[in-house]
């Protein structure tokens, strides 16, 4: 904890030592080229004989993710008809190299490889040369007969001819956009001949559980205010604190000689000064007096000395410390790793302060219930040789909302209001704290984790808290009866937020990227569900999976690929399919099932914001019929769900294109027969 600011002689001594060691920052770890990544240009479509509108761009990085300049990249056509210019390119200071492509005279997919000379590193671009005309799928083709529950993933070509069989058949088509670049958008036009529209995601009467008695479930209140605040914090950490990471590691390396943080135990009722600025990381500190209100084995609970009346008692603060010791800390440490300990006190600080209340404007949609800020993991010292963060508290700490029954600092907050958020938010933010500290001082990562994956892991922490509190476990296909038996209040407090965010995703799947950088409620809901799906299918323990994702130098999709394998994008596609197929009668292929949760059972008994029972699974589907072609816009990492039936004794031609050209090869189609 930063109680006393470092003396000037100490900052100067650090500068001398840094200079003696050859500079203020260590050279990027990781050595030579260890990975080549596709940056942009993949999945393009153009007429035969024409040039692609955008270049193919790759990035070469070392083992720590830092760019490699001066590497030679060779581009070559591995299959199909095309030419590239130039055939070799040298990476610039940011590790980027690019080439232009002219398509040949033959229609079809073209694979272009980019390889780093002198290594085995290679990536493959897939682009498509097309013509402006194509035949319907049922012309000269034998209709595909599918069994009920059968899933046909990765359908090739420009469509599929489906048989209605002797009794008629219901189908769903899932179009998934597999471009790793979350900013890419694919236009898809789906037409049909002899298809009749189906307008709901329900596939059997028993799954449309209308409100006919029985208990209902309340989800946690959705909290856009917290999401927007978190995004601001994570972006500022990436932008303003990321460049200081190497200097912080140098500071920590030399701590044995120059210890700028006071050590030793705090005592009960001791008052210390802490910066509570929840916006600017390293400037304009808001210095607040904090009293040590409770001491646990793994946490100090600090109370702002000017908190409003009607707040928590010391006994209640002690209960927070005890709960953190016995529930939150062991849970997060088991799954994500032990936190760093830069202040050498073996504890984290939980700071209950009115300054958190002030962050939420009156009348906001939601409330900032608490936060962790990466800035507190950085040293305060700063000069020409060591870039510090002067207003850091130099401590592992979490800032918490306080009761404000009279609404002095923002909207009124009773104790009950605050308690609704405290534990789940603490578990959520503690993952952020552990993740950042270990990336900084344990794993020597070059940057903080991407926001979408970082937030997804923190929502996993909330789910794990639910399991712990209810003595339930993942991979039990929990349905509404199991959830109600375990306690509706526990569901609302710990898991209801995840379900609510998932509901937001289910209503806008084609505009939501599961690995997007916007950090919207729906992105968080999708990412949580994806991580749960991928962990359930990985074949190892939960704790091992989460630990691997946190303890790495990689970030974002490269992190997913390292942990889940080179076919991670196929796994994401299969997850997108499972969003529809899970717990659908007849679907037996485990790749398209979600082992932990039965959402088709839970959602119909969930209360909406108006207190009404949903009575259905709220996935948005696009009804497809001959009279109503579907014109889709699908963001990369998003998917669209189309439903239709093919009448008995007939066949239905389902065809897709993009503005008269073939659809991008990165859009993958899966067909499911549901009846």
The fold of the 35-130 domain, in CATH, is Immunoglobulin-like (2.60.40)
Cα(first)–Cα(last) distance of the chain, in Å? 63
Tally Cβ neighbours within 10 Å of residue 396: 24
User: C-alpha angle 357/363/369, rounded to 5°?
Assistant: 30
Q: What is the pLDDT of residue 385?
A: 58
Q: What is the pLDDT of residue 381?
A: 80
Beta-bridge partner residues of 621: none
The strand pair at 151-155 and 56-61 is best described as: unpaired
Q: State the burial class of residue 649 (Cβ atoms within 10 Å of its Cβ: 0-12, 13-18, 19+).
A: exposed
- State phi, psi for 499 to the nearest 5 degrees: -65, -40
Q: What is the pLDDT of residue 578?
A: 98
Q: State the burial class of residue 471 (Cβ atoms within 10 Å of its Cβ: 0-12, 13-18, 19+).
A: exposed
Encoded tokens for 275: 């910066």
- The full set of domain ranges for the chain reads 35-130, 132-199+621-675, 218-258+266-581
- Which distant-in-sequence residues (6+ apart) come within 8 Å of 118 by Cβ? 72
Where the chain has pLDDT below 50, the residues are: 1-30, 205-212, 257-261
42, 187, 514 from 511: Cα distances, Å: 20, 12, 10
The DSSP code for 187 is: E
pTM value is 0.90
What is the C-alpha separation between 478 and 469, in angstroms, rounded?
Answer: 15
- Which distant-in-sequence residues (6+ apart) come within 8 Å of 116 by Cβ? 33, 36, 60, 71, 72, 73, 122
Q: What is the pLDDT of residue 382?
A: 61
Q: What is the pLDDT of residue 204?
A: 60
Instruction: Give me the DSSP letters along 218-283.
Output: EPPPP-HHHHHHHHHHHHHIIIIIGGGHHHHHHHHHTTTT---S--S---TT-EEEEE--SS-SSS
């Amino acid at each position: 904890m930063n109680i006393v600011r470092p003396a000037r002689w100490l900052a100067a001594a650090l500068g001398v030592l840094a200079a003696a060691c050859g500079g203020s920052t260590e050279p990027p770890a990781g050595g030579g080229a260890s990975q080549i990544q596709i940056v942009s240009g993949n999945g393009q479509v153009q007429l035969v004989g024409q040039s692609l509108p955008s270049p193919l761009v790759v990035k070469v990085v070392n083992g720590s993710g830092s760019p490699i300049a001066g590497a030679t990249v060779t581009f070559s056509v591995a299959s199909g008809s095309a030419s590239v210019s130039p055939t070799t390119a040298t990476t610039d200071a940011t590790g980027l190299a690019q080439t232009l492509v002219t398509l040949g005279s033959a229609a079809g997919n073209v694979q272009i490889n980019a390889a780093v000379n002198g290594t085995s590193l290679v990536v493959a671009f897939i682009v498509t040369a097309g013509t402006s005309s194509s035949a319907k799928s049922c012309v000269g083709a034998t209709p595909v007969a599918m069994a009920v529950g059968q899933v046909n993933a990765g359908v090739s070509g420009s469509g599929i001819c489906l048989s209605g069989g002797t009794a008629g058949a219901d189908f769903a088509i899932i179009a998934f956009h597999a471009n790793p670049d979350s900013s890419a958008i694919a236009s898809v036009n789906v037409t049909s001949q002899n298809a009749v529209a189906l307008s709901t995601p329900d596939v059997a009467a028993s799954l449309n559980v209308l409100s006919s008695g029985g208990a209902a479930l309340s989800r946690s209140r959705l909290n856009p205010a917290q999401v927007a605040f978190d995004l601001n914090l994570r972006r500022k950490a990436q932008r303003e604190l990321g460049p200081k990471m190497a200097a912080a590691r140098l500071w920590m390396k030399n701590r044995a000689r120059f210890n700028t943080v006071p050590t030793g135990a705090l005592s009960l009722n001791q008052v210390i000064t802490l910066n509570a600025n929840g916006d600017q990381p390293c400037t304009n500190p808001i210095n607040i007096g904090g009293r040590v209100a409770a001491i646990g084995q793994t946490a100090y609970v600090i109370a702002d000395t000017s908190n409003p009346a009607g707040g928590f008692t010391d006994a209640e603060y002690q209960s927070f410390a005890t709960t953190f010791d016995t529930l939150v800390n062991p849970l997060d440490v088991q799954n994500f790793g032990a936190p760093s300990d830069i202040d050498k006190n073996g504890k984290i600080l939980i700071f209950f302060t009115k300054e958190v209340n002030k962050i939420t404007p009156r009348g906001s949609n939601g409330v900032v219930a608490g936060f962790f800020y990466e800035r507190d993991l950085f040293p305060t010292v700063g000069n020409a040789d060591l870039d510090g963060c002067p207003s850091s508290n130099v401590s592992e700490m979490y800032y918490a909302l306080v009761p404000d029954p009279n609404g002095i600092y923002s909207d009124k907050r009773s104790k009950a209001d605050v308690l609704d958020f405290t534990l789940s938010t603490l578990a959520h933010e503690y993952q952020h704290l552990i993740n950042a500290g270990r990336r900084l001082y344990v794993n020597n990562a070059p940057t903080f984790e991407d926001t979408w994956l970082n937030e997804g892991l923190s929502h996993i922490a909330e789910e794990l808290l639910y399991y712990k509190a209810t003595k339930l476990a993942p991979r039990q296909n929990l349905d509404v009866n199991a959830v109600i038996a375990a306690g509706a209040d526990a569901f609302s407090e710990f898991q209801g937020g995840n379900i609510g965010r998932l509901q937001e995703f289910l209503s806008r799947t084609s505009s939501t990227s599961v690995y997007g950088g916007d950090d919207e409620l729906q992105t968080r809901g999708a990412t949580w569900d994806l991580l749960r799906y991928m962990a359930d299918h990985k074949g190892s323990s939960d704790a091992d999976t989460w630990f691997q994702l946190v303890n790495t130098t990689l970030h974002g999709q490269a992190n997913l690929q390292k942990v889940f394998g080179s076919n991670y994008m196929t796994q994401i596609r299969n997850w997108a399919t499972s969003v529809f197929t899970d717990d659908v009668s007849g679907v037996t292929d485990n790749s398209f099932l979600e082992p932990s949760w039965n959402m088709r059972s839970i959602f119909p008994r969930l209360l909406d914001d108006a207190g009404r029972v949903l009575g259905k699974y709220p996935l948005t589907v696009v009804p497809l019929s001959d009279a109503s072609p579907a014109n889709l816009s699908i963001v990369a990492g998003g998917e669209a769900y189309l439903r239709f039936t093919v009448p008995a004794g007939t066949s239905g031609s389902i065809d897709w294109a993009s503005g008269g050209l073939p659809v991008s090869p990165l859009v993958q189609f899966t067909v499911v027969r549901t009846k």
